Amino acid sequence: MLYFLRSLRRYRDIGKIPEQKEKDGHASARSLFEVILPDGRFFCGEKRMGNRFITVDPDRILGSTDMGPVFSSGLLKTDESRELYVFPGFCDVHVHFREPGFSYKETILSGSLAAAHGGYTDVCTMPNLDPVPDSPEHLKAQQEIIDRDAAVRIHPYGAITVREEGKELSDLEGMSRGVVAFSDDGKGIQSEETMRDAMLRAKALGKIIAAHCEDESLLRGGYIHDGRYAAEHGHRGISSASEFRQIERDLLLAEETECAYHVCHISAKESVEAVRRAKTRGVNVTCETAPHYLVLCEDDLKEDGRFKMNPPLRSAEDREALIEGLTDGTIDMIATDHAPHSEEEKSRGLEKSAFGITGLETAFPVLYSSLVLGGRISLERLITLMTSAPRRRFGITGDPGYTVWDLEKVYRIDPGQFLSKGKSTPFAGMEVRGSCVETVIDGKDIYRR
Ligand SMILES: [Zn+2]
């Protein structure tokens, strides 16, 4: 703790904590400090606080003056005197932890350790598992592993349709209490009738439908964006229409059914525009995009599976439209779509590799370095997009804990340092600023550098 105090440059000793009975029965007196966090380094919710006093004892943050208690409690130890920032724990509404069914790619344990390393304390897991959580029994199989192994708070999605086959609706009512929302992520729901029924039932349950939008009739075997790079290198492309046409269909259904509707991983400029127009009409819609769509585009593609995900990296123009969407509030939150695979599955080049990249451990440094330091969005906006906005929409309550970041630390992204089993990322080798020092939840260190 003293290292942490020193790193904050200024603190004053304000006395002793009254003698406390320790677990072993011995009494001990510990010093109590007030720490002055330098201007703007402490975030309460999404607000930046200036010159804030926080009261700490050698192991715990007790609260901050005139704010009331901000953190319930927690260990806070660091080992370097750097520019440290304290943020609420991040929240990701779109991750794939692969268990049960595909634990060679990721497990609840490895995924949640990766989340903690990335500064996350809440994550929502997508249901493309085996068994697919499409009934209370199947959901229970996943929940048991979560109860046993999770290091962060995990909120599972329930599948919209049985086995995510897009035909028969799952037992939405039976799963409702145990899931954060419903999604068939990985696949679009092709039938308009099925989506309408799903929305009506989700609406009755007060649950969100989170949609992976992909019209399969427009895919034509594509695997990267149908743009310049695909044309020049002889690849088959995925058109933007396969995404935005289904979003447009769903937005009309959401308007008709008044279901709370959320669009997963928006990647195309037309999708941003469709959501923008729907919001103006008052449709109950939110959407997310992911760091790779905001920072990279088809111009960055290499003949390597680590650049392959679905939806694909699109054009520079699409990327600009997404950043504009973040700025004007059309895009509500940033999710990673953390989708780990084995090394072999990602080693078969652009055409043959599996879709999906690992993302939890690079999201904040990549976004901070590119968008905040690049002058595109403020740090406050980024923190909102990664903390309070997703929690508010998805009804994720409770103390978010906090995460401490060293924003002076410059390094190159090295997948060898990931705690995720998935090492495939288009950001490998990228120089970034910002390293996670510590993540704390319920007073426990879940990650410490
Ligand atoms: Zn998806």
Does 392 reside within a domain? yes
Q: Which domain holds residue 74?
A: 2-81
Q: Residue 179's closest CA among 130, 136, 121, 132?
A: 136
Catalytic annotation, pick one of 337, 406, 442, 445: 337
Asked whether residue 188 falls in the same domain as residue 161, the answer is yes
Distance 188 CA to ligand 1 centre (A): 8
Distance 96 CA to ligand 1 centre (A): 10
Asked whether residue 193 falls in the same domain as residue 285, the answer is yes
Does 235 reside within a domain? yes
Does 250 reside within a domain? yes
Asked whether residue 302 falls in the same domain as residue 401, the answer is yes
Distance 70 CA to ligand 1 centre (A): 35
Asked whether residue 116 falls in the same domain as residue 77, the answer is no
Distance 119 CA to ligand 1 centre (A): 22
pLDDT of amino acid 435: 95
Distance 250 CA to ligand 1 centre (A): 15
Diameter over CA atoms, the chain: 73
Does 293 reside within a domain? yes
DSSP 344: T
Asked whether residue 295 falls in the same domain as residue 359, the answer is yes
How many other C-beta atoms can be found within 10 angstroms of the C-beta atom of residue 378? 13
Distance 210 CA to ligand 1 centre (A): 10
Asked whether residue 67 falls in the same domain as residue 104, the answer is no
Tokens 């990267």 locate to 224
Asked whether residue 275 falls in the same domain as residue 377, the answer is yes
Asked whether residue 257 falls in the same domain as residue 193, the answer is yes
Domain count within the chain: 2
pLDDT of amino acid 14: 41
pLDDT of amino acid 380: 84
**Coil/strand/helix, residue 376:** coil
Give the Å distances, CA to CA, from 188 to 160, 217, 265, 396, 441.
Answer: 11, 11, 12, 25, 35
Q: DSSP for 257-269?
A: H---EEE-S--SH
Asked whether residue 38 falls in the same domain as residue 98, the answer is no
Rounded Cα–Cα distance for residues 47 and 35 (Å):
19
What tokens does 18 get?
Answer: 């009254």
Write the CATH number for 281.
3.20.20.140
pTM of this prediction exceeds 0.75: yes
Rounded Cα–Cα distance for residues 366 and 362 (Å):
6
Asked whether residue 55 falls in the same domain as residue 148, the answer is no
Does 447 reside within a domain? no
Domain boundary among 39, 54, 81: 81
Domain boundary among 36, 64, 81: 81
Q: Residue 73: beta bridge partners?
A: none
Residues 140 and 134 sit within 8 Å (Cβ to Cβ): no
Distance 266 CA to ligand 1 centre (A): 9
* HEC-encoded secondary structure of 419-445: CCCCCCCCCCCCEEEEEEEEEEECCEE
What tokens does 315 get?
Answer: 């054009």
Q: Residue 88's closest CA among 154, 42, 152, 150?
A: 42
30 burial level (CB within 10 Å; 0-12, 13-18, 19+) = middle
Rounded Cα–Cα distance for residues 162 and 168 (Å):
6
Distance of CA 224 to the CA centre of its chain: 23
Domain boundary among 81, 108, 134: 81
How many other C-beta atoms can be found within 10 angstroms of the C-beta atom of residue 235? 21
Does 449 reside within a domain? no
Per-residue pLDDT reduced to its tens digit, 213-255:
999 999 889 999 999 999 999 999 999 999 999 999 999 999 9
Does 32 reside within a domain? yes
Instruction: Tell me which residues of the chain have a pLDDT lower than 70.
Output: 1-83
Residue type, 153: R
Does 414 reside within a domain? yes
Does the annotation mark 337 as catalytic? yes
Asked whether residue 76 falls in the same domain as residue 158, the answer is no
Asked whether residue 238 falls in the same domain as residue 372, the answer is yes
